[in-house]
Amino acid sequence: MNTTIKINLLRLLLIHIVVMSTLLACSSNENDTMRTEDSISNSVAEMPLMADEGFASSPPVGRSVSSKSASISVASGASNSVERMNVRTSNIEILVLDVQQTIESIKNVTNQTGGFVVTSQISGDESQTGWMSIRIPSSKLDTTLSHIRNLSVRITQENSYVQDVTDQYIDLEAELLVLTQTRDTYLKLLERAKNVEETLKVHQAATNIHVQIEQITGRMKYLETTSSNALITIDIKPSTNPESLVKPGWSPNETAKDAIRGLSEFGQNIVDMLILILIFSPAWMPIIAFIWFIIRRRRIKNQSS
């Protein structure tokens, strides 16, 4: 168990001691206070965390906690007795002839292996592309990847990752055990509370512990799910059929329409230019006439000389 977990466990024990001290200080009757202190000490002394044999039925981790010494011990080599929990993730990018058909085929394989589709989407009109993410049993990962490879014309990219989360799970187990037993102790103290103030304080402490228990339980379930079900993300792109000599989507009718459309636009541009010249003629005709007059006059002088 790492240092952070040990610190958390010690912190929980300190909180436990502070709450009990507060309850004892709030008692109005000295005799009742003494009896409460004795009962609390007996309750804590009877906690399963104090007994080494209480952990004999839990093979993954051996640990003991003492309220007097606040010491925590973890059996060495405990992780070796636990089945390794590996989170496996694979990403693959493929080129296919038919994107829609490939996606349907992958969905069928996923259902057959006992998995499920997390995300599936198709984008584009003429040239469709697809993207999928699926979860399948980890034992079926290699078989499923092999099937996806067989559906492709070419594999452009593929990578896989493995993350060992065994130590994380063991630490969460240990923390959950301590929190559960601390909560049970608070519940026993709640039954012995003498007034409303004691009841509220113990109830608040028990509630805080319960929230932590729920968070740890959720994290453990997530690790169990992700380690037992591998995640595969597939990027699917279209590939041109190498046996086809004609580009997909080519049409002679469309080519003819494009040519006629271009010719029409050229004719329109010519007409527009002529219209502009005619409209602006009052502005440029005098200038052209003056230039022509000057040139003609020079020619006459040259001829006479």
Are residues 33 and 67 located together in one domain of the fold? yes
Whether 234 and 219 map to the same domain: the answer is no
Q: How many domains does the chain have?
A: 3
> What is the per-residue pLDDT across 32-66, written as a single tens digit (0 to 9) for each?
434 444 444 344 334 333 333 333 333 333 333 33
> Does 217 reside within a domain?
yes
- Of 238, 264, 284, the domain-final residue: 238
Distance CA 178, CA 66 (A): 11
Q: What b/e string do you get for 104-124 counting C-beta neighbours within 10 Å, with b at 16 or more?
A: ebbbebbeebebeeeebeeee
Whether residue 234 is found in the same domain as residue 262: no
Q: Are residues 153 and 93 in the same domain?
A: yes
Q: What is the mean pLDDT of residues 133-146?
A: 93
Identify whether residues 15 and 44 lie together within a single domain.
yes
Last residue of a domain, one of 238, 272, 292: 238
What phi-psi label fits residue 77: left (phi over 0), alpha (psi between -120 and 50 degrees) or beta? Answer: left
Q: Tens digit of pLDDT for each residue in 245-288?
A: 555 566 788 888 888 988 889 889 999 888 988 888 888 788 88
**Per-residue confidence at 208, pLDDT binned at 50, 70, 90?**
very high
Q: What is the CATH number of the domain that holds 122?
A: 3.30.70
pLDDT: which is higher, 177 or 19 = 177
Of 190, 213, 238, the one marking the end of a domain is 238
Same domain? For 160 and 119 the reply is yes
Q: Are residues 209 and 284 in the same domain?
A: no
**Which residues constitute the domain of residue 198?**
3-81+166-227
Strand partners, 161: 89
Residues 170 and 112 in one domain: no
Burial (CB count <10 Å: 0-12, 13-18, 19+), residue 203: middle
Between these two residues, 15 and 131, which has the higher pLDDT value?
131
Mean pLDDT of 201-206: 88
Residue 120 and residue 266 in one domain: no
Pair (34, 109) in one structural domain: no
Q: Which residues, other chains included, contact 202 with Cβ-Cβ below 8 Å and sequence gap of 6+?
A: 19, 23, 186, 189, 190, 193
Token reading at 214: 């729920």
Q: Count how many Cα atoms sit within 13 Å of the Cα of residue 149 in the half-sphere of its side chain.
A: 11
**Is 97 within the bounds of a domain?**
yes
Q: Is 67 part of any domain? A: yes
